[in-house]
Structure 1
Amino acid sequence: MTTSLPDIAPPPLPEQGLDVWFVGNRSALFWLALKSGFWTVLSLGFYRFWMKTRLRRWYWSAIRPGGHPLEYVGDPWEKLLGFFIAVVFLTFYIGIVNLLLMFVSFSLFQNSVVGYFGSVLGVIPIWFYAQYRARRYVLARTRWRGVRFGLEAGAWGYAWRALVHWLITICTLGLLWPRMTFWLEKYKTDRTFFGSAKLVQGGHWAMLYRATVPFAVVLALTAGLVCWLVWLDPLIPDSATPLADIMSSFDDPDTLGFAVLGWQGIWRMVLLGPLALGLIYGAVHYRFVSKRILADHKRCAGVQLRSKLNGLRISMIYVLGTTIAYSILVFGILGIVGVAFGFFGSGALLEAQIGTSDPFGDLPRWLSVGIIAALYLAVFLFWGVLHHAFVTYALMRHMAVTLGLLNVAGLAQVSQRARDEFAEAEGFAEALDLGAAI
């Protein structure tokens, strides 16, 4: 009796398109992030390269276009070695550049302000360079149906283009922000490959203006409120009040200075709160809705992407998720401050003098410092875990399930591409703290 080998080839691609599934479980991610974060703390940060690799493999395997999971095949040793290479390079670069800038600053301007300003500007191109290199590494270590993604070399080209676009955007007071978003994304997309197939970013930068509508409306309302408070019906009247009278009036708990200032309609200041939240919503809306619009104009080997991403849902994820994560962070830091004050504050000293001190007050200083440091790391560890569970997880799930692939028959003709080797992996992004996100 003969037995045939099982057919391990993937099923044929349907012509009508593919939906994207997300099968990850939030509780599994929570425990993975907690466990890997714990080892990162114990290893003083060195395990973070393994932590990031494990988390990416989890996220990638949860995203399944047409039921076939993405694969992340990055190596943590690559990341560690790349980090060391980048640190050596940046140490040499920043050291030499700072030395020259300080010499010029003291020689020509007799102060260090120009030198410090130039030093900050000198790091900005490296920042953009690191962003592009990090994206290239992630794509090179991502596969779907066994076929590798890839990104052409072009980090320095991206860096100088980003500088030019940012300069234009700043000079136009942000009016051409959609132009910058479109052209920088087009530069990266047009150099992206899936196997032998090249991605193309279509459309025009003006199409992104509709994503700016919520932010523009709230910004106009904010400008109107400022005009109302400053010019139309001034909050502070034009009559001058001596500074001494203003300062002394704050001693009165009933007026807190408002009486002597003569502020009119102080209740109008409450409107600034909702407008600030509206600006945050508008910024989040633009960031993700622009991704949806750009995705709808991407194509590869005849495949057309379609995104149904919901800007309001994304904003709710941000608000609720970050509120949960940052509440733990804030309350944790306040608790640490209370513990530290109990160990080293004036209250502990007074209690020791009257004989009612807490038994923990007799701990050696090194042990007290160790306890506080451990609590500090634990708070940030738990904050990172909650951020993964309630922000990153929810965002990636929503972005995955709202994405679809149309006319995918052309993918059957895609062939494999050569493996893209990296000397420094994501080292520059890690050294510049750009690699903390998934």
Structure 2
Amino acid sequence: MSVDEVAPVAFAGRRGSLMALALRVGLLTLATLGVYRFWGRTRLRRWYWSAVQPGGDPLEYTGDGAEKFAGFLMAVCVLALWLGVVNLLLMFVSLSWLAAPWLAYVLSVVGLIPVWAYARYRARAYMLARTRWRGIRFGMAPGAAGYAGRVCLHGMFTLATLGALWPRMTFKLEKYRTDRTYFGTLRLHQGGQWTILLPAYTPVLVCGAFALASLLLAATSTPRMVWLAVPFGIGALYGIVRYRVLSIRLMAEAKTAGGLSLIATPDPVRVARIVGFGWLAITIVLALPLIGAAFVYALAPAGRIELLLATDPTNPLALLALALFLILYFGLFVAYGVLRHGLITMPLWRHYAESLTVTGTSALAAVRQRDRQAAPEAGGLAEALDIGAAI
């Protein structure tokens, strides 16, 4: 393959600029009681998209905060009506026929799974429809209902096999999404079979089986065996991270779009290090103001602050205590968002981007523009369920 047919992916973003943007977004979202969230998420997506540069050409995100806000309001109305009717029916059946109110809550949570899957697919379709590279739009064919059904079906198979068929679910769902994704007039295709993921998943099965066996032995005959479950449990957790990274690599390398293909080399150890140290740093940084507040509270006269708040809320000391509490409470949420972007999300994006190479770029000459897709919901259902869906 000639050099001009290979396009390494670079990541041009800087941590400082992202954290400053995340801080502004967090403060504006707080000041507007959450309304700015939709415009803030748009600005963050534009930062991330523009930082990823396949072959030196950055991705573009063309989404709009106003359409997200309108889609969110629409989704909230529909979701509230749907959940209200379903929950009332479940509660009626549980109380009238089964005399088991707890069953209604369980079924209500289970009933959210297809809604969650539907929302994830629609959110991904919206993001792709608002993403461009070299001026060419991405897109995704309709299929949210089919995806939700497949999530439920493969989920049942996975549960019935105690997790043994997780790779099959991973592959089948990714293939369903990929085969409905377009770059301009090119349609993506997920090649391979789900069995390519089995070697990456084997450590999870082995460690998980030994951890479960150790817990069973500890509960029945040998209590000291519970300690053996600890290393196997840690091994299973790392195995899940490793499987996640390797599954992305293996499936990415089996994707094609006309003459385009991918070379992916993400490192599971590096991903685990980014996530582990990132969460550790966030926990330590956020714990410091809580420890300081607890220390100050411990030094205050017993019951003094509560008494002032209850009997004389206009007292300067009471107002100061209330103001400090509100600043600390809401400040922790803003600080968490800033730190999560700077210490976890951005390093992961950078690693995955820099470990990716697009090959066969000579096929881009034959790609034609795709019509702009309408997005009346604009990922609003995912926002209403607060399931993220990327940034």
Calculate the TM-score normalised by the size of structure 2.
0.91
| Match of residue 336 from structure 2 | 383
Of 353, 377, 381, the residue aligned with 1:424 is 377
Quick check: 271-280 or 419-428, which moved more?
271-280
**Partner residue of 1:398?**
351
Aligned to 2:270: 313
Partner of 2:363: 410
Kept in 2, the 8 Å contact 1:178–1:206? The answer is yes
Runs of at least 5 residues in structure 2 that lack an aligned partner in the other structure: none
What corresponds to 2:286 in structure 1? 329
1:277-330 deviations in Å (ceiling 9; x for gaps): 333211111112100110010000211111011111111111111111122234
Deviation by residue 1:188-233 (Cα, 9 ceiling, x = unmatched):
000000000000000000110122133234324424644664567x
Q: Relative to 1, partners in 2 of residues 1:118 and 1:160: Cα closer, same or farther, differing over 3 Å? A: same
* Superposed displacement of residue 42, structure 1: 1.3
Q: Is the 8 A contact 1:426 1:435 kept in 2?
A: no
Q: Is the 8 A contact 1:328 1:379 kept in 2?
A: no
C-alpha distance in structure 1 between counterparts of 2:355 and 2:88, whole Å? 51
Higher helix fraction: Structure 1 or Structure 2?
A: 2
Please tell me whether residue 208 in structure 1 is matched to residue 197 in structure 2. Answer: yes
1:347 to 302, 320, 333: 302
Q: After TM superposition, list the pairs within 5 Å mapping 1:9-408 onto structure 2.
A: 15-223=4-212, 225-226=214-215, 229=218, 234-235=222-223, 272-336=229-293, 347-349=302-304, 362-363=315-316, 368-408=321-361
1:347 aligned counterpart, secondary structure:
coil
Taking structure 1 as reference, are residues 107 and 201 closer, same or farther at Cα in structure 2, changes over 3 Å only? same
TM-score, normalised to structure 1's length? 0.82
Q: Separation in 2 of the partners of 1:137 and 1:379?
A: 31
Q: 1:397 to 1:351 in 2, by over 3 A?
A: closer
Structure 1 vs Structure 2: percent identity of aligned residues? 44
CA contact (8 A) 2:61 2:131 kept: yes
3-state SS, counterpart of residue 203 of structure 1 = coil
Structure (1 or 2) with the larger CA radius of gyration: 1
Letter in 2 for 1:100: L
1:278 & 1:373 partners in 2: Cα distance? Answer: 41
Distance in 1, matches of 2:97 and 2:38, equals 44
Measured on the aligned residues, the alpha-carbon RMSD in Å equals 2.6
1:269 deviation in Å? Answer: 5.7
Q: Is the 8 A contact 1:333 1:376 kept in 2?
A: no
- CA change 1:436–1:128 in 2 (3 A) is closer
**Count of residue pairs brought into register by the alignment:** 386
